[in-house]
Amino acid sequence: QVQLVESGGGLVQPGGSLRLSCAASGIIFYAYTMGWYRQAPGKERELVATITPGGRQNYADSAKGRFTISRDNAKNTVYLQMNSLKPEDTAVYYCNRDGVQWGQGTQVTVSS
């Protein structure tokens, strides 16, 4: 069965860092564009970053210069390194495969 499982969320202070992981199973991982989305309370789910099979990265304006998406095809895992975190980054972060498959999400809270 196809599954995406996120981990690495938690509570950090403004200016801190977190590294999210998304482990995929049941797919030919290297063949798909992977992405991270987030959804804050009262807001719609929004794109944060994507990475193609060839490694091309795309970021939302809010993430540029602070977040880095990467992938390890040998581990079937995509990562989101988040630096210089702000309170407005607080959200549930979801892993996505090719705009179709979703994980359950991991909570990120940025607060002092």
Cα–chain center distance at 20: 6
CA neighbor of 69 nearest in space, from 77, 60, 81, 61? 81
Three-state SS for 59? strand
pLDDT of residue 112: 93
∠ CA 38-9-54, rounded to 5°: 60
Question: How does pLDDT run across 4-14, given as a tens digit for each residue?
Answer: 999 999 999 99
What is the amino acid identity at position 61? D
The rounded mean pLDDT for the chain is 95
Residue 83 has pLDDT above 90, yes or no: yes
40 with 90: CB under 8 angstroms? yes
